[in-house]
A and B are shown apart, each in its own frame.
Chain A
Amino acid sequence: MSHRPVTTESLGVKLLLIGATVLVLVLFLLLPLCAVFAEALRKGADVFFASLRDPVAASAIKLTLLTAGIAVPLNALFGISAAWLVTKFRFPGRTFLVALIDLPFAVSPVVAGLVWMLIFGSKGWFPPGEMAEFFAPVAKVVQSIAHTPGLGWLGGLGDWLERPKIVFDLPGIIIATVFVTFPFVARELIPLMETQGTDEEEAAITLGAKGWKVFLRVTLPNIKWGLLYGVLLCNARAMGEFGAVSVVSGHIRGKTNTLPLHVEVLYNEYQYSAAFACASLLALLALVTLALKDLIERLGHAGSGGH
């Protein structure tokens, strides 16, 4: 009889398990990824780059970057405050709050979009007409201030307050994205901050540090890798979100179509090469996200002394 370690399986079982894993990886993960890039480049690099330079595609890319650029920093802030609140303090309703943070993960993206239609749509609780009435006095004040030299940039805000639009416009897309991607940062930080406890903060306090300095010099450095990781995942989802954004965007071409929505439009119009060219950007985003995730994990390990 051969003596192998008790946790090791026989050669046959090993081969079977390895084979099954490789098969699934190739069939379900690697093949589709290759297909995206192959399809995107099938008619040559010229067509590929032309599809990306197309003004409608360019505006979809810009809108996606803008949405992520606003939603991700907001969620980083919300995530840090939520994690701070539920891990460093004990109060009634705390466990309910922790569960509530996960709500956007539990709810279907379509529903996540529809709720905003229900609230801000033309037949919703706060339809644009009523909001315009409500904001009218403020709009007047803002517009008059905007006339003073140097404050011209307030004009845009004034215009929006005169004719407030949330759904079928950028604010709606941002709100839907913020809602859907809210849990990423908070969920990454809560277990981390939970295990770290409050000892180091208390030590900083006895040494004379006050609130903001305690956060910047003690809490933030301890959570920075977890925070970066959460932000990275949050960003990947914010740029890739389809369902919720699709409901609130209104699909106005060149205006309220994000990159994922634009891919669908192109595909439905049988412009396969252009559709896959845009899709390959999203696939590239996924690859970059994975590479960065790996890097963050390595740096994070090195930073914590190799534990």
Chain B
Amino acid sequence: MSISIRSITKTFGAYKALDKVSLEVPEGSLTALLGPSGSGKTTLLRIVAGLEFADEGSGAIHFHGEDVTQIHAGQRGVGFVFQHYALFKHMTVADNIAFGLSVLPRKQRPPSAEIRSRVTELLSLVHLEGLEKRRPDQLSGGQRQRVALARALAIRPKVLLLDEPFGALDAKVRKDLRRWLRRFHDEIGLTTLFVTHDQEEALELADQVVVMANSKIEQVGDPQQVYDHPATPFVIRFLGNVNSVRDPRDPESPLYVRPHDMGILFAAEADPATDRVARVHHLFSAGPIARLSLRLEDGQFVDAEISRQQLDELALSVGDPVAVRFQGASRFE
């Protein structure tokens, strides 16, 4: 089911957490809300879930064309996975997963045998067969997350919402689970919206990346688009390391260029029309990529990344002059 967010504003006291935010989440997509803390991404997710309500008269949330703006979280049919999973500590894994079915009114509640078989089915879906009887504190972080996912899916939600799904995991588990979640999403095809502050995670996992900052959406696009064609200085800065270089010919608008896009040539090859001269200030060459810190003739420092092979060809050491060519630089008006 598609999600359509139309001009949502949310204020907490004097603080505006969301400012007329609109967004389309296509059916079956995996969409990332990416931004630093305080950008409003979690608030937006909670408003989509119905855990928080937008300001009176500010806009609407539609699920597949149906207006759900006034519908409460419990009736909205969303699967929500909390950052710290919020598993019910005193219940077994099976009872956690069955919760959404067991609290249905008597008339709609499936018979207990059916609930049990649904729990078994969900456990095998998230690859946790045989852990029915465990309690949340007897599970690893990754297992807890998958229990939370199975619990959210038990109510057959229309959309799946995940708040920082990998935030509480260590680096190794994080990478594994990230790939697992991508395959899992492709398998079940449920429209999924997740919040993250990690650009690598968003770019690797999502079909659509929504970059947020200061209560607004900065850019929406697929990972390739937002990375290669950032719409604003904020986006280019947030999606990875970038040099912002003051251009003496146009001091008002700096050039943005990523370290790995910097062309490094012998000083003698410098083309005065496009290149600038710099000296090697610092050189870090452990590993396959060499990182250079360069000092331009006007005193600005910039970073560059080149291959070890190129470094050997250039035979650089600290203090040497080089020519710098800004390839693929972005400029914003």
Name A's B-contacting residues (CB within 8 A).
199-200, 202-210, 213, 217-218, 221-222, 303-305, 307
6 inter-chain pairs at a CB distance below 8 angstroms, sorted by A residue, are: A203-B87, A204-B88, A206-B80, A209-B103, A221-B91, A305-B138
Question: Is B318 an interface residue, CB under 8 A from the partner?
Answer: no
Question: Is B267 an interface residue, CB under 8 A from the partner?
Answer: no
Given A208-B74, A208-B104, A210-B74, the answer on whether A200 and B86 have CB atoms closer than 8 Å is yes
Residue of B nearest to A220 (CB): B90
B-chain residues with CB within 8 Å of residue A305 when the two chains form the complex: 89, 135, 137-138
CB distance from A221 to the nearest CB of B (A): 4
The reply to whether A217 and B138 contact each other, CB–CB distance below 8 Å, is: no
Which of these, A206, A304, A307, contacts B51 with CB under 8 Å?
A206
B-chain residues with CB within 8 Å of residue A222 when the two chains form the complex: 89-90
B134-180 CB contacts (< 8 Å) to partner A: 135, 137-138, 151-152, 154-155
The reply to whether A304 and B78 contact each other, CB–CB distance below 8 Å, is: no
How far is A34 from B138 in the complex, measured between Cα atoms in Å? 46
Residue of B nearest to A221 (CB): B90
CB distance from A211 to the nearest CB of B (A): 10
The 7 closest A-B pairs by CB, nearest first: A207-B100, A199-B86, A305-B137, A203-B86, A206-B80, A209-B103, A221-B90
CB distance from A255 to the nearest CB of B (A): 46
Which of these, A203, A210, A303, contacts B82 with CB under 8 Å?
A203
The reply to whether A200 and B88 contact each other, CB–CB distance below 8 Å, is: yes
**Secondary structure call for the A interface:** helix
Of B73, B79, B154, most A-chain CB atoms within 10 Å: B73
Question: Is B75 an interface residue, CB under 8 A from the partner?
Answer: yes
Question: Is B49 an interface residue, CB under 8 A from the partner?
Answer: yes
How far is A306 from B155 in the complex, measured between Cα atoms in Å? 32
How far is A222 from B86 in the complex, measured between Cα atoms in Å? 12
Question: Is B326 an interface residue, CB under 8 A from the partner?
Answer: no
How far is A213 from B88 in the complex, measured between Cα atoms in Å? 14
Residue of A nearest to B148 (CB): A203
Residue of B nearest to A224 (CB): B90
Residues of B in contact (CB 8 Å), total 29
Question: Is B84 an interface residue, CB under 8 A from the partner?
Answer: yes
Question: Is B301 an interface residue, CB under 8 A from the partner?
Answer: no
Which of these, B75, B86, B137, contacts A208 with CB under 8 Å?
B75
The reply to whether B82 and A208 contact each other, CB–CB distance below 8 Å, is: no
B-chain residues with CB within 8 Å of residue A202 when the two chains form the complex: 51, 73, 80, 82, 86
The number of A-B residue pairs with CB atoms under 8 Å apart is 71
Question: Is B99 an interface residue, CB under 8 A from the partner?
Answer: yes
Given A204-B99, A205-B51, A205-B74, the answer on whether A307 and B86 have CB atoms closer than 8 Å is no
For the complex with contacts A217-B99, A305-B137, 7 further pairs of A-B residues with Cβ separation under 8 Å are: A200-B89, A202-B73, A203-B151, A207-B99, A207-B154, A209-B99, A222-B89
CB distance from B326 to the nearest CB of A (A): 48
The reply to whether A217 and B137 contact each other, CB–CB distance below 8 Å, is: no
B43-82 CB contacts (< 8 Å) to partner A: 49-51, 72-75, 78-80, 82
How far is A221 from B89 in the complex, measured between Cα atoms in Å? 9
How far is A202 from B42 in the complex, measured between Cα atoms in Å? 14
Which of these, A199, A209, A217, A304, contacts B74 with CB under 8 Å?
A209
How far is A208 from B104 in the complex, measured between Cα atoms in Å? 7
How far is A210 from B49 in the complex, measured between Cα atoms in Å? 16
Of A200, A206, A222, A305, most B-chain CB atoms within 10 Å: A206
How far is A199 from B104 in the complex, measured between Cα atoms in Å? 20
How far is A204 from B86 in the complex, measured between Cα atoms in Å? 9
The reply to whether B103 and A207 contact each other, CB–CB distance below 8 Å, is: yes
A-chain residues with CB within 8 Å of residue B87 when the two chains form the complex: 200, 203
How far is A236 from B89 in the complex, measured between Cα atoms in Å? 30
Residue of B nearest to A204 (CB): B99
Residue of B nearest to A202 (CB): B51
CB distance from A99 to the nearest CB of B (A): 23
Given A202-B86, A305-B137, the answer on whether A208 and B51 have CB atoms closer than 8 Å is no
B97-115 CB contacts (< 8 Å) to partner A: 99-100, 103-104
The reply to whether A205 and B88 contact each other, CB–CB distance below 8 Å, is: no
Residue of A nearest to B80 (CB): A206
B-chain residues with CB within 8 Å of residue A304 when the two chains form the complex: 89, 137
The reply to whether A208 and B80 contact each other, CB–CB distance below 8 Å, is: no
The reply to whether B88 and A206 contact each other, CB–CB distance below 8 Å, is: no
Given A199-B84, A217-B103, A305-B135, the answer on whether A206 and B89 have CB atoms closer than 8 Å is no
The reply to whether B103 and A204 contact each other, CB–CB distance below 8 Å, is: yes
How far is A307 from B99 in the complex, measured between Cα atoms in Å? 25
How far is A204 from B73 in the complex, measured between Cα atoms in Å? 10
The reply to whether B138 and A208 contact each other, CB–CB distance below 8 Å, is: no
The reply to whether A205 and B73 contact each other, CB–CB distance below 8 Å, is: yes
Residue of A nearest to B154 (CB): A207
The reply to whether A206 and B103 contact each other, CB–CB distance below 8 Å, is: no
A-chain residues with CB within 8 Å of residue B137 when the two chains form the complex: 304-305, 307
The reply to whether A206 and B84 contact each other, CB–CB distance below 8 Å, is: no
B-chain residues with CB within 8 Å of residue A221 when the two chains form the complex: 88, 90-91
How far is A204 from B90 in the complex, measured between Cα atoms in Å? 13
How far is A204 from B82 in the complex, measured between Cα atoms in Å? 11
B-chain residues with CB within 8 Å of residue A205 when the two chains form the complex: 51, 72-74
Residue of A nearest to B157 (CB): A206
A-chain residues with CB within 8 Å of residue B90 when the two chains form the complex: 221-222, 303
Of A200, A207, A210, A303, most B-chain CB atoms within 10 Å: A207
How far is A231 from B32 in the complex, measured between Cα atoms in Å? 48
The reply to whether B82 and A199 contact each other, CB–CB distance below 8 Å, is: yes
Given A206-B80, A207-B103, A213-B103, the answer on whether A218 and B74 have CB atoms closer than 8 Å is no
How far is A307 from B87 in the complex, measured between Cα atoms in Å? 16
